A = this chain, B = another copy of it.
C-alpha cells in the first residue's frame, strides 16, 4: 500500500533533540543536551503517601472518566495560586488542565490557526512549540531576541506586513534555549504592540518559578486588561514531568474552544495525577519545595558558569541565566557549529545544536544549548572542560 499523508504532517521529522537522545545510549557520553528536570525535584515520598490515600479513599473518582476542563479543585487551586502570587487571571479568564504544557501549544494552534496563517515567534525558540505550530501548517515568522529583549521594530514590521498573524509566541522568562529573560519595559512594549495590532500573545512560562537570582519581573498575563494573553505553565519542572500535567489560563471565549478541541483530542487529562497534584498543592508545602529546586539549580548553573569562565576560550560567548534550565553558548564565526557539536560527541559530550531552535529550519546557527539541571556536578565540570578543550582545538 502506498500511504498518503496530510500536507501538514508529510514533511515533518522527529525532533532533532529526540534524535540526539538516541545517540545517548552510550553511557560514557556526558549529556548536557537534555531538557529534563533533576530527579531530585520530584517529591517522591509525599507523592507516594498521597497516592496511597487516593487509592484508599477516592479510587472510583481517580480511576473513572472525568470532565474535559480538568479536576475542579485543581483548577481552582491553580487559579488561586497564580492570582495570589503573580497577579495572573481576571474575571474574564478561565483555567483548563492540559496533558502537559505541550498540549496547551497544540490546542492553541488548533483553535486559532488555519493552514498558512502566521505565528510570530522569538528567534530562536523552543523546538516543541515550533514543531507543534508546523504540524498545523502554519507559517512561523521569527523576530530576533536580542540582549535587551525582543526586537520591537522588527516585530511591528511583521505585524504591518504579514497577513493573518494569529499569535505571538513568547517564552519571556528563562527562555528555552537562551536562558535569558525579557525586561519589563520590553514586555510592556510588546503587549502594547499586540493590543494595537489585535494579535493574541501566547506566554509560555514553564520555568518562571525557577528563579535563583535577581528579582521577579511581572508576566505579560499580569498586564492583560484586554484579554489578549493565553498563559501556559505546567507541573513538569516542579513536581513531575512524566505525569504530564499542565494548565492554561486564557479568556473564557478562547478557553471554550480549547475545551472543545481537547475533548476530541484526549477527553481529559489523567485524573489520578490531577487529584494528586491538587492534594500536593493543598496538603504539602509547594513553595518550600520550589525553593529547594531553586537552590539546586542555582548551584548547578553557578558551577556551569564558573567552569565556563575558567576554561572556555574568550571567543566563545554564553548567557548568564537567573533561573530556568539552560545556558546558550555562541561560537565565533571561524568555528563551524555543526562540526563542533559532532566533535563534542566524539569527545563524549552531547549538546543541542542551535539550528534545532531556528524558526527557519534551513537557516544556519553558530550557537548550541547547554543544560545544567540533569547532569551531576561532576558531569557539569567534566563536560564543560571537554567542550572548552574542543573549542580551543578548533579556534
Contact = CB atoms under 8 A, between A and B. Distances in A.
Interface in A114-142: 114-115, 117, 128, 131-132, 134-135
Contacts of A228: 1
A44 B37 CA distance: 31
Interface string A90-103: 00000000011011
Interface string A226-259: 1110000000100011111000000101100101
A268 interface: yes
Interface in A28-72: 35-37, 39, 42, 44, 47-48, 51-52, 55-56, 59-68
B48 A56 contact: yes
A65 B36 CA distance: 7
A135 B261 contact: yes
B106 A5 contact: no
A128 B264 contact: yes
A63 B9 contact: no
B257 A270 contact: no
Contact of A44 (B21, B55, B102, B263): B55
A127 to B, nearest CB: 9
A368 interface: no
A161 B200 CA distance: 42
Interface in A303-318: none
A166 interface: yes
Contacts of A176: none
A253 B3 contact: yes
Interface stretch (A11-19, A77-85, A185-193): A11-19
A336 B59 CA distance: 41
A242 B9 contact: no
Contacts of A135: 110, 260-261, 264-265
Contacts of A68: 18
Contact of A63 (B7, B15, B42, B102): B42
A266 B114 contact: no
Given A64-B240, A110-B135, 6 more contacts: A1-B198, A1-B200, A2-B198, A5-B257, A47-B55, A63-B243
10 contacts: A3-B251, A5-B257, A6-B117, A12-B260, A42-B64, A44-B59, A99-B266, A106-B266, A243-B270, A243-B272
